[in-house]
Amino acid sequence: MGKKQLRYAAGALCLVLAAAVAVVSVPFDTAAAQGAPLAAKETSWTHAINQLPELTRVIHNRHVIALADAKTALQADVRTADALFESSKGKATDESRRLLAVERNRASSLVVVSDDEKAPLVAQEQLAAVAEVVTGEVAAWEAAEAARIAEEARIAEEARVAAEAAAAQAAAASHSTGRKASTAATAAAAGQTPQQYLEGIASSYGGSISWTGTPCGRAASGCYQGGSTLYISTSLYGSWSTAKGRGRNVVLHEASHLIIQNKCGTVLLGGARFENVTDAYSVLLGGAGSGYGYNDNDMALASAALGGQCLEG
């Protein structure tokens, strides 16, 4: 007989003996007291031995049922841990997932080999503890990921709004260019001189022209020294083709100095590249630049200034 069977038998024998002692201690019933014959009773030891197989079977069946219930519950937790291990990849730490796998494997082995109905309960507690850690890490990762996605969406929305604003400014500048070109054609048709045409452009931006052969004492086509006066070379109104080409671009460049000065309090927007930024600004006003040229950063500073923001280069 194996150890397990011996345990069942010992437990059953104890129960039977306890029952036998109880039977012996029961007082005679009223029939016996009145002299009626009593039924023959087995001795307590004989009764215990006769009942032992049946009680052993009952105890064994209860153990089997309890063990099966415990293993069924533990197997369900193992399946849950399997799913958590897969879904937590890249979200929980490698160490936490490793511990989860260890406890999952231990529990799975108990389902197969354990004969102790208490062992699955202990395994369930250990598996639940590591699963709780992994679940918490997954929740933290998902919260951080949701915040990251929301921040990217916010930045993208800001970029979209800025792009729409820039497009609107460009459209306004293009419309202004077309309007000024139309004004030039109208001025020519109305008998205006090229000189008057260029003065009209300066006036539309709040400036006036001082005509000179050497603007600011230099061999230049134009210059700006503050205030509302633009110093422009007399060579730029010699003909309509010159006035509407080079003349118009120079006047717009010097007018851009005036506008930037008024908006930003300085003409030195862009630092050492302030002339390049000013050329970019004149392009936004509809000109073609006066020859300084500009890069993307110059244009970004000019676009910001056009919108009322004076950024540092």
Dump pLDDT digits (tens) for 254-279. 999 999 999 999 999 999 999 999 99
Instruction: Determine the 3-state secondary structure of 232 from DSSP.
Output: strand
Q: How confident is the model at residue 122 (pLDDT cuts 50, 70, 90)?
A: confident
The answer on pLDDT for 249 being more than 50 is yes
| d(C-alpha 87, C-alpha 73), whole Å | 22
| d(C-alpha 113, C-alpha 131), whole Å | 23
pLDDT tens, residue by residue, 203-228: 999 999 999 988 988 878 999 999 99
| d(C-alpha 259, C-alpha 228), whole Å | 9
Residue 188 has phi, psi (to 5 degrees) of -65, -40
Q: How confident is the model at residue 33 (pLDDT cuts 50, 70, 90)?
A: very low
At 197, list the tokens: 């045409």
Pairing of strands 229-233, 222-224: antiparallel
What pLDDT does residue 267 have? 92
Average pLDDT of the chain is 79
Instruction: Determine the 3-state secondary structure of 176 from DSSP.
Output: helix
Within 8 A by CB and 6+ apart from 93, the residues are 137
